[in-house]
Every structure is written in C-alpha cells, then in structure tokens.
Amino acid sequence: MTTTPITLSRLYTFPVKSMKGIRQSQSHAGETGLSFDRNFMVTDETGKFITARRYPQMVLFTPVLLSNGICLRSPDGSSATILFEDFRPDHLPCEVWGNHFTSLLAPEKINQWLCQFFDIPVQLRWLSPQSTRRVKKFPDTAVSFADGYPYLVVNEASFREVQRRCGAGIKIEQFRGNIIVTGAEAFAEDRWKTIQVGDVVFDLKKPCSRCILTTVSTDKGIKHPEMEPFHTLQTFRKAADNDDVDFGMNAIARNTGVIQTGDTVTILETREPRQYQEQDVEKVQAAPAQPEAELELTFNGKLYPVNNQHVLLEQLEGHQVSIPYSCRAGVCGCCKVTLVSGEVTPLKAGAVKENGEILACSCIPKTNITVRHG
C-alpha cells in the first residue's frame, strides 16, 4: 500500500495585516515569517492595530510589492505608493494583542489617503528593517505584525472537512494561512510537533485560535450573515479545556531558507493532540429590523450617544473607547462588561449573564444604558 506524500501546495504572503494576500510559488522563510509577510499594518493614532475583524472591507485592499516600497490599491480603484525611505525615522510605540513594541510611521499624505476609508483617524506602520517585536512565549524569536506567531500552517484536507460541514461557499484564503499543505488526512496537523518543508524545519507551537475574521468574504469584504465558517468550527473544534476554537497550527522556523510549492513535507516529530468536543451551537441572530433610535450610554461615568442598530463594542470603538476583545463573536468572553441599568438586545444565547455581565460584541442597546468595565 502506497502512502500519499504530503507536499506544500500553496504559499501566501500578506504584506499588510488584514489586507489581500499574495499567492506565491516560492518564498524565503525567515525568522519573522515569509518575506514581507505582515511587514505593514494599519493602526489608530495611538499605534494600536486595526484589522478586518472591525473593518472587513480591509480584505479588498490590494498590496503590490515594489523593490523599494509598496503600492496600495483601494476597493474604489484609487492607489497610493510609499517608499521605505519615506517612513519617518523615529521608532514609535505600537501594539498587537497587548504586545507592545515599536515601528515606523508613514508620512501624513499616505495616512490621510487611508483615513478616507475608515471612520476613525488611521496610520500606516512599517516594521522597519529589524523587528523590535518578539513572540510573547518565545522571547528569543522575532515576529512581524502577525497576530502572534511568524507562520500559520493550514491543511487542505482539514479545510475541506470544514467546508463539507458548513455547506457555505467559503475559501481557504479566509483562514489566512501562509503554508498550505496537501496529502495529509483531515486534522492530522493536530499531532504534528515538528515538520520539515524543503530544507526548513518548523516547530508547530500551538493550534491557532480562530475568530470572526474567518467569516469575512475575501471577494466581498463582508462578514457571512450566519457567521460561517466560525459557527461550524464551534460545533466540533472547541477545545475541551477552554473556549478556544482552533483551526491550523502556529509555527516558528528553526532555520532559514527558500521553500516552494511542491516541496515535500516531512513529519519529524509528533505529539498527543489537543482534545476537542462536539456541541450544538446556536446561530448568531441578525440585528432586529427596527426604526433607528438615538440613545445614551453611560460608560464608566462618561456619557456617549449611541443607537439601537449596532453592537455595543463597535459603538464604543466609534467613540475611541477601547475594551479588550478577541473573537468578536460571543465565544471568548474577553469583551464582557457589567450592565448596571437599562436593557440590551442579545444576538446569541449567553450574551447576557445572570450576574449582570453582558458581551459587548453580541449586545445592542435597547434603551438608555449604564455600563461599567474594570
């Protein structure tokens, strides 16, 4: 009996965090990731990262790499070009998921061009030739503007199983993997500890916890109305020991080198896989159709105008008020706040707790409300 070889089938680089990826036939695998992967990102004025979780239209921006910079083409067809030498020389603070480091700021002309596509002032940042950021749990390893790790490995067979289960027209690009492999059984990657692709050895450090970003259509720049495929992932890929919903594996490279499609993927070491549980999950409800009403939100003693159309998290962000979040889909619980008074409309079961806590990502103000956080 012959065994189907496992090979590298696709390579993707995402030069700008949350924008469109570039499919490649080969790439240099370095310490911080594939060449140019997540070397740029959009931030708010404080340097905090902005992604398609909040602004799904970001996936429709097309980055074009130049020998001395990058060109960005917007969904409306306009474009802006910035050279590496145009970035300001001072290293300024920035943040990705609570990881604080420094990066270089684009000139005002570029930032003003970007601002027209967002409802808040934004900036373009460049990692600089030398990354000052490190992987949180592996401080000797540099990383780009990626969420946490230099590489994301995705198994095509695992994607096809998710696709089969959810029945929605999803694409593998929605999972934003760098290294896509074929020839393995579905979720065989759960057991992989160390692999070799061509001459480069990768340690698969942890499963990748997924979020609402997987629901964003790479063709339309909008979230799936029934939260697919994230909803389906919750039904069979929720970790037994916490609330993580996993797909793919985060990885670090032990050495550097060129990898290319068609390279053999060799499993060097395996481990016991993380355990997952099957469960029924209620679908997220659409926001109720109702006449728009102007309401008031008192948050930690400060008054803000809000409405009865959008979830609390998005409206707080619109007022430049930040609270912790992760999945933005009512799963992780990071965005919980205390409802002191008033009523909200929950979009899913469990968004309103008996102890008065509510999930800001899954509740819409119904009346004037008072909320406390921290």
Residue 2: what pLDDT?
53
Domains in the chain: boundaries: 1-281, 294-372
Q: What are phi and psi of 98, to 5 degrees?
A: 75, 0
Considering the entire predicted model, what is its pTM?
0.91
Domain spanning 294-372: which CATH class is it, in words?
alpha beta
- pLDDT of 1: 46
And the tokens for 171? 């694409």
How crowded is residue 264: how many other Cβ atoms within 10 Å of its Cβ? 12
Q: What is the mean pLDDT of each run of 10 residues along the chain (374 residues)?
A: 84 98 98 98 97 97 97 98 97 96 97 96 96 95 97 98 93 98 98 98 98 96 94 96 95 98 98 95 78 95 96 93 91 94 92 93 96 93
What's the confidence (pLDDT) of residue 167? Answer: 84
Whether omega before 229 lies within 30 degrees of 0, making that bond cis, reads yes
Q: Under 8 Å CB-to-CB from 270, ≥6 apart: which residues?
A: 191, 192, 193
**Angstrom distance (rounded) from CA 61 to CA 73:** 6
Tally helices (H) and strands (E) across the chain. 4, 30
Look at strands 151-155 and 179-182 and give their pairing: parallel
Closest CA to 169 of 218, 207, 103, 239: 218
Report the 10 Å Cβ neighbour count for 62. 17
Residues 235, 160, 184, 267, Cα dihedral to 10°: -60
In DSSP notation, 171-204 reads -GGGG--SEEEESSPTTGGGGEEEEEETTEEEEE
The residue to which tokens 């409306």 are assigned: 76
Instruction: Evaluate whether 87 touches 126 at the Cβ level (below 8 Å).
Output: yes
Amino acid (1-letter code) at residue 309: Q
Please state which of the four CATH numbers 3.30.465.10, 1.20.1250.20, 2.40.33.20, 3.40.50.300 is assigned to the domain occupying 1-281.
2.40.33.20
C-alpha span between 136 and 278 (Å, rounded): 30
Q: Could you give the CA distance from residue 260 to residue 262 in angstroms, rounded to a whole number?
A: 6
